[in-house]
Structure 1
């Protein structure tokens, strides 16, 4: 397979692979330094215990060299009993401390892995909501699952083993230099082969492993998207096209897998050759040195054993360094979220009032393809605005801009004169809440699910919130009441009940401005009308922007904005727009048949 070239396609360059950044080498190094600072004591303890174990392992070669030296000198009274006793003690010490090395190494790896998981989760949750919404499902899944799995092995094994290997090799080289200085020079003969092979490999490996990881993310993204949109794929007979896309992604990923495997078929024989050169040069040059009287036979024996022992730590270092090449890519993908600027938290960006305004807003999900084109909208406090229009017109996009999820490419969206896109997410959420068609019931009790919105709420407030959205009937009927386990593994809730839980959280959060993206869409019409009547008191006095897919929601609004092709084509009350006999009137007539 000599001359195998890397695949022409670079998955990392595909815009469908990822929307989250990959950390730069500087970011990765800074995070690694942070981890070592956090676990400085554990790392020093690991190195100390390992040094004792390695020192004990060198007692055997030293004793054997002494025995050979005595035999060569014609010593008749060789204290074999003492030598065997010392060797046994050293072997016992080595065994005990090797066990401690493995234990301490595993503990250090697990602690660093736990830190990494927690840091990634905390940082991801703290990202601006628009960043997470734009991130591909496959990319997020591959980072949370595949990249964490790859790092798990590196953290548990590679980092401790690398530390062990470096200390081991350094002590062996030091012992060889002290025991037989000329033989230390013989080890250098293998360095050109080792350095050349490693440079060749490590110049190619990092980029190859990055592309391999990105290729897997592309595979995961294609598969996840196909599964999520399974009904749509089936309805539009897109199965063959999706299978073709998945096969293409898999072919690109496996091409990088084959390339990285080929790289390993070059580096490992290079390591074996280096080992042969080290041992061969020590024996041949050492023999010459003995004949010249520069070193003794005992020194040669000890030096040859030390040089032979060098192969294991060097192989250990390079083998686990190779593992770290894979782990480094995964680490870069995980710490890449640290390069996303967090919310500024600028104290000057506080709303002065509740008036919401969009001024000449332009926005697009992709460069050069705007969804909204110069939208202007004024929403006074306490106004109920309905956004209506055909599917794909930009209603939900405009709603997300008004909720502060996205920032406009041009123009401004302000609340009380403060730009929403420049306010920290936590501050935005205190004033504006988005309730969309998606909802989630977390594994835990019903109480825990509700307390996510307000941690200090008491049981009476929780029950009042459930009552406000018409969920008190079924909630009171639960076996353990608010302590009933819901979600996966607990009591199964219907989509309508899950949506009521989400709306109850909204009641508890108590924001003054609400953006409702057809929040009752999963309920049947009768239940939806009942819930909307229940919410009427809750919504009283608040500013409400409702993205209406069903026109009966728009009928009761103070102002209706008709969104067509990314612009607001009509604006007014229901009666005014029906009388104008424009786009809204046509929608209303088609809705009522």
Structure 2
């Protein structure tokens, strides 16, 4: 059962963009002012050149030379000012882009870490990875490289259009009118582009998902002879991605020729109309030259927009996917109750719990279980009985299909992610060690923990080897000090102790440890977590022996419940498991 992460609407993307501008409004305002000054300086050059043409054609030779010299010096000064202002405007825009990119990266990471556990579990790996890598990089590229250039081009384009209209309304208006062809072509493109580029981004995520899951399960694929089916899946996702890219390519190939022709028409039109007006003494030649130069300079910003158009659409679609992470919620969660309701205590009650993955058969069938605060309970049973599934539901990673699982009267799956982590933590044999110091790896669970608290947590899980590492606790866990699975699992358990949850669920949490170390670690955990609720999905029955109560599961149901002594006396399923465990 997978969940597709949401995508923000166009309005949501606009709000997010405005939020970035407002966050750094003074720098953005400064960049806008300098851009306008640079564009204004650029407008003077064609105007001065037109004055030179008028001076040469309408002024006596001896006076024309002096006028041309003055105008040429003015052009030189304006050119230097234009270059300086342009470079400074680019600097301010790049600075704004880098700051905004940093904020977006940090916000995406914060939102991803704040996602409900069930959402992370059911979201496809490829989609989440693509949003955090390719999509973030596309937005960063837009802010860092495209946005400064496009902002400058937009200001220049606006100023040039205003200037040509002020120079001569009839001449300028006739030239700009021919640009309507490009406007209509662009509108037609934009109507189709958003969906096409979202499809392209989603198909890239599907390719990543197919490749990543195949690589991660390579041994299983080889053992079960699934290589051909996985190759067919990869081929189909690549083919879909190719079709998505071809669809955006077709949109661009229809648009670009039309815009290129439309950009050349204004200059041609102004020269033809301006030549006729000048011949009939209705306009000065310098005005025609200046108008033609203004319209000629429109081509540069328009070409820049066309050059970046593909990346703009890709970045917009990527931004929508990044912002969509903030809209993700647990399936079936009630955002009002989860945010406002606080559990009355740590008592966990399962009432007639049914659960199935997707549309498949039920894995849990009417589970009733009352777990008292501070109780140590073990869940045992044969493989496929539903033990791990029940552990996931007790941890709030999934919500029951029918029935309820509550803690202190509140549905566990509806607790806000940060509140849920303080209430209950699920520890499995899966773990991750970051390439950072031992101290920072442990402080993920408790940022304010002291070195003494770190040492105590490591000692409690039998990880005394950690204190012998060089530069402890600032040892860098990289290639030189890479931890094996057993030590990494101990480090994960130490994190749990530092997090200090009300309820701890252990599902094969000591599977990587040898039996003696595992038993010592479990006893150490029990001593440290005295007074806390501990639920152990027990694959080693010795763990069940030490529990206050044992729940025996078969075929998705709890068939026995009691202490070790009571269940042995009943001579039922648990007694059979115990005899098999001891040979």
**Could you tell me which residue of structure 1 aligns to residue 263 of structure 2?**
275
Q: Conserved in 1, the CA contact under 8 Å of 2:339 and 2:416?
A: no
**Could you tell me which residue of structure 2 aligns to residue 394 of structure 1?**
386
Q: Conserved in 2, the CA contact under 8 Å of 1:359 and 1:377?
A: yes
CA-CA distance at 1:348 after TM superposition: 5.8
Q: Distance in 2 between matches of 1:142 and 1:57?
A: 42
Q: Does 1:159 align with 2:147?
A: yes
**Could you tell me which residue of structure 2 aligns to residue 177 of structure 1?**
165
CA-CA distance at 1:246 after TM superposition: 0.8
Q: Does 1:418 align with 2:410?
A: yes
May I ask how many residue pairs the two structures share in their alignment? 576
**Could you tell me which residue of structure 1 aligns to residue 467 of structure 2?**
476
Q: Distance in 2 between matches of 1:347 and 1:271?
A: 52
Q: Distance in 2 between matches of 1:312 and 1:478?
A: 61
Match of residue 559, structure 1, among 536, 549, 557: 549
CA-CA distance at 1:61 after TM superposition: 1.4
Give matches, 1:417-436, under 5 Å.
417-436=409-428
CA-CA distance at 1:588 after TM superposition: 3.8
Q: Distance in 2 between matches of 1:31 and 1:248?
A: 35
Q: Distance in 2 between matches of 1:60 and 1:26?
A: 40
Match of residue 97, structure 2, among 109, 116, 130: 109
Q: Distance in 2 between matches of 1:113 and 1:560?
A: 52
**Could you tell me which residue of structure 2 aligns to residue 381 of structure 1?**
373
**Could you tell me which residue of structure 2 aligns to residue 130 of structure 1?**
118
Q: Distance in 2 between matches of 1:284 and 1:335?
A: 50
Q: Distance in 2 between matches of 1:452 and 1:383?
A: 27
**Could you tell me which residue of structure 2 aligns to residue 255 of structure 1?**
243
Q: Distance in 1 between matches of 2:346 and 2:311?
A: 55
Q: Distance in 2 between matches of 1:432 and 1:110?
A: 39
CA-CA distance at 1:575 after TM superposition: 4.2
Q: Distance in 2 between matches of 1:417 and 1:148?
A: 40
Q: Deviations over 1:449-469 (max 9, x none)?
A: 223333333332222221111
**Could you tell me which residue of structure 2 aligns to residue 86 of structure 1?**
74
Over 3 Å counting, the alpha-carbon distance change for 1:191 and 1:368 in structure 2 is farther
CA-CA distance at 1:524 after TM superposition: 2.0
**Could you tell me which residue of structure 2 aligns to residue 10 of structure 1?**
none
Q: Conserved in 2, the CA contact under 8 Å of 1:349 and 1:419?
A: no
Q: Distance in 2 between matches of 1:117 and 1:128?
A: 19
Point out where structure 2 has 5 or more consecutive residues left out of the alignment: none
Deviates more, 1:175-184 or 1:391-400: 391-400
Give matches, 1:288-367, under 5 Å.
288-341=276-329, 349-366=341-358
CA-CA distance at 1:429 after TM superposition: 2.6
Give matches, 1:506-545, under 5 Å.
506-545=496-535
TM-score (ref. length: structure 1): 0.91
Over 3 Å counting, the alpha-carbon distance change for 1:212 and 1:369 in structure 2 is farther
Q: Distance in 1 between matches of 2:542 and 2:453?
A: 31
Tell me the SS of whatever aligns to 1:482.
Answer: coil
**Could you tell me which residue of structure 1 aligns to residue 185 of structure 2?**
197
Q: Conserved in 1, the CA contact under 8 Å of 2:167 and 2:287?
A: yes
Deviates more, 1:262-271 or 1:153-162: 153-162
Deviates more, 1:140-149 or 1:422-431: 422-431
Q: Does 1:485 align with 2:476?
A: yes
Tell me the SS of whatever aligns to 2:151.
Answer: helix
Over 3 Å counting, the alpha-carbon distance change for 1:369 and 1:189 in structure 2 is farther
Deviates more, 1:56-65 or 1:117-126: 56-65
Over 3 Å counting, the alpha-carbon distance change for 1:347 and 1:125 in structure 2 is closer
Q: Distance in 1 between matches of 2:175 and 2:376?
A: 81
Q: Deviations over 1:262-291 (max 9, x none)?
A: 221121111111012111111111122223
Q: Distance in 2 between matches of 1:307 and 1:414?
A: 70
Q: Deviations over 1:162-213 (max 9, x none)?
A: 3222211111111111212211121243233212311222222211111111
Q: Distance in 1 between matches of 2:247 and 2:415?
A: 46
Match of residue 570, structure 1, among 551, 560, 571: 560
**Could you tell me which residue of structure 2 aligns to residue 56 of structure 1?**
41
**Could you tell me which residue of structure 1 aligns to residue 87 of structure 2?**
99
Q: Distance in 2 between matches of 1:405 and 1:289?
A: 77
Tell me the SS of whatever aligns to 1:535.
Answer: helix
Tell me the SS of whatever aligns to 1:481.
Answer: coil
Tell me the SS of whatever aligns to 1:444.
Answer: coil
Q: Conserved in 2, the CA contact under 8 Å of 1:355 and 1:381?
A: yes
Q: Conserved in 2, the CA contact under 8 Å of 1:387 and 1:545?
A: yes
Over 3 Å counting, the alpha-carbon distance change for 1:262 and 1:400 in structure 2 is same
Point out where structure 1 has 5 or more consecutive residues left out of the alignment: 1-14
Q: CA RMSD in A?
A: 2.3
Q: Distance in 2 between matches of 1:393 and 1:28?
A: 46
Q: Deviations over 1:384-429 (max 9, x none)?
A: 2222233343222211221233333332222222332333233333
TM-score (ref. length: structure 2): 0.93
CA-CA distance at 1:550 after TM superposition: 2.8
Match of residue 25, structure 1, among 2, 10, 14: 10
**Could you tell me which residue of structure 1 aligns to residue 446 of structure 2?**
454
Q: Conserved in 2, the CA contact under 8 Å of 1:161 and 1:320?
A: no
Q: Conserved in 2, the CA contact under 8 Å of 1:344 and 1:424?
A: no
Q: Distance in 1 between matches of 2:380 and 2:493?
A: 22
Q: Conserved in 1, the CA contact under 8 Å of 2:200 and 2:245?
A: yes
Q: Conserved in 2, the CA contact under 8 Å of 1:345 and 1:424?
A: no
Q: Conserved in 2, the CA contact under 8 Å of 1:469 and 1:503?
A: yes
CA-CA distance at 1:443 after TM superposition: 2.7
Q: Conserved in 1, the CA contact under 8 Å of 2:426 and 2:504?
A: yes
**Could you tell me which residue of structure 2 aligns to residue 550 of structure 1?**
540
